[in-house]
Amino acid sequence: MDILYRNGKWYASIVLEIDQDLLKNSRETDTGIIAIDLGCNDAIAWTNGVENGLVPAPRFLRKVDAENKRLSKAKHRKRSPNFKKKIKASRRWKKAQKQVSRLNRKVANQRQNWVHHETTRIISGNSTVVTEKLEVKNMSAKAYIGKYKKQKSGLNKSILDVGMGMIKDVLKAKLDDVGGKYFEVPTRKVKPSQTCPKCGHQEKKTLDQRVHLCLNCGYTQQRDIAAAEVMLAWYSNNLQELGTSFSDVDSCISTSHTRKTAGSMKQIGRAKRQKSQVIPGDVETPGSNEVSQG
């Protein structure tokens, strides 16, 4: 056991050796298939084909925005360290710095707790999770294009506040524990946000259009739930004609199929290449607080 002192708090780190089979049995799951759409307005829109629902974005960062600004301002008024000029930070600066990092840690803890809570709920009834390919890192890259800079940083804040990347990573890990399957729909081929889950008709939606209303068949559904329904339908091969069929997609990550060779160099190389791929056009309007689904 290690005892750590970090950012003014004490931590005990306990390492346990657990039998892999035991771990797999410790997490309960069911045989359901669920499709989830990750967004900024509603963090998670989900459907299992029978039921659907929305999980509102927790906005932990937004909630402490005022306090964050107040603490940063207070810190800037104090004497900061400058190593070149050999100026040491004042005691008050150090104290203010502690308060800033305490707040950051609080937000990070809240987010992590929320992500674990929601992902456990998803996994508890479903061993297959279908979602769309989303280049979070690319989207949250800094924008240096003049007037879009600030607007895009607002979008980044939303994406990072929801913790989309974290949700996916935790989902993958938990699915791996139960021998489940994680599948990503190729967004640009399938276009979940522009496609009718009932008839396959495609029509571009603007970002503020929160409802899917099909001009072809009249199907009406909340936008993000409709997108999740498209993913589920595509996964179940019902909307195959929209893109490549399920079997010839190489961009999917199926934990249950790759687990045996997950550590091989070939696969790590492939994962790295996938990571570095840049998909332009994932963000439609930098000025809006909404992520386009293609």
Between 174 and 223, CB nearer to Zn ion: 223
**Which residues, numbered 65-104, are part of the site for Zn ion (CB under 5 A)?**
none
Measured in whole angstroms, the distance separating CA 38 from the mean position of its chain's CA atoms is 6
Query: Which of the stretches 1-9, 46-54, 70-78, 217-225 binds Zn ion when contact is defined by CB under 5 A?
Result: 217-225
The distance of closest approach from Cβ of residue 252 to Zn ion in the complex, given in angstroms and rounded to an integer, is 26
The distance of closest approach from Cβ of residue 42 to Zn ion in the complex, given in angstroms and rounded to an integer, is 22
Measured in whole angstroms, the distance separating CA 200 from the mean position of its chain's CA atoms is 26
Asked if 211 touches Zn ion (CB under 5 A), the answer is no
How far apart CA 144 and CA 159 sit, in angstroms, is 18
Q: Which pair of tokens denotes residue 282?
A: 């994932």
The distance of closest approach from Cβ of residue 73 to Zn ion in the complex, given in angstroms and rounded to an integer, is 52
Asked if 252 touches Zn ion (CB under 5 A), the answer is no
Asked if 238 touches Zn ion (CB under 5 A), the answer is no
DSSP character at residue 218 = -
The distance of closest approach from Cβ of residue 218 to Zn ion in the complex, given in angstroms and rounded to an integer, is 7
Binding mask 171-210 for Zn ion (x = CB under 5 A): -------------------------x-xx-x---------
Partners of 273 in beta bridges: none
How far apart CA 287 and CA 145 sit, in angstroms, is 12
- φ/ψ region of 7 (left if φ > 0, alpha if ψ in -120 to 50, else beta) reads left
Between 145 and 215, CB nearer to Zn ion: 215
How far apart CA 176 and CA 171 sit, in angstroms, is 8
Asked if 7 touches Zn ion (CB under 5 A), the answer is no
Q: Which one-letter amino acid corresponds to residue 245?
A: S
Between 213 and 279, CB nearer to Zn ion: 213
Asked if 148 touches Zn ion (CB under 5 A), the answer is no
Q: Please select the residue that binds Zn ion; options are 64, 138, 157, 219, rule is CB under 5 A.
A: 219
DSSP calls for 81-93: -BTTTTBPPPHHH
The distance of closest approach from Cβ of residue 201 to Zn ion in the complex, given in angstroms and rounded to an integer, is 5
SS in 3 state form for 154-203?
HHHHHHHHHCHHHHHHHHHHHHHHHCCEEEEECHHHHCCCCECCCCCCEC
The distance of closest approach from Cβ of residue 199 to Zn ion in the complex, given in angstroms and rounded to an integer, is 3
Residues that bind Zn ion (CB under 5 A): 196, 198-199, 201, 214, 216-217, 219
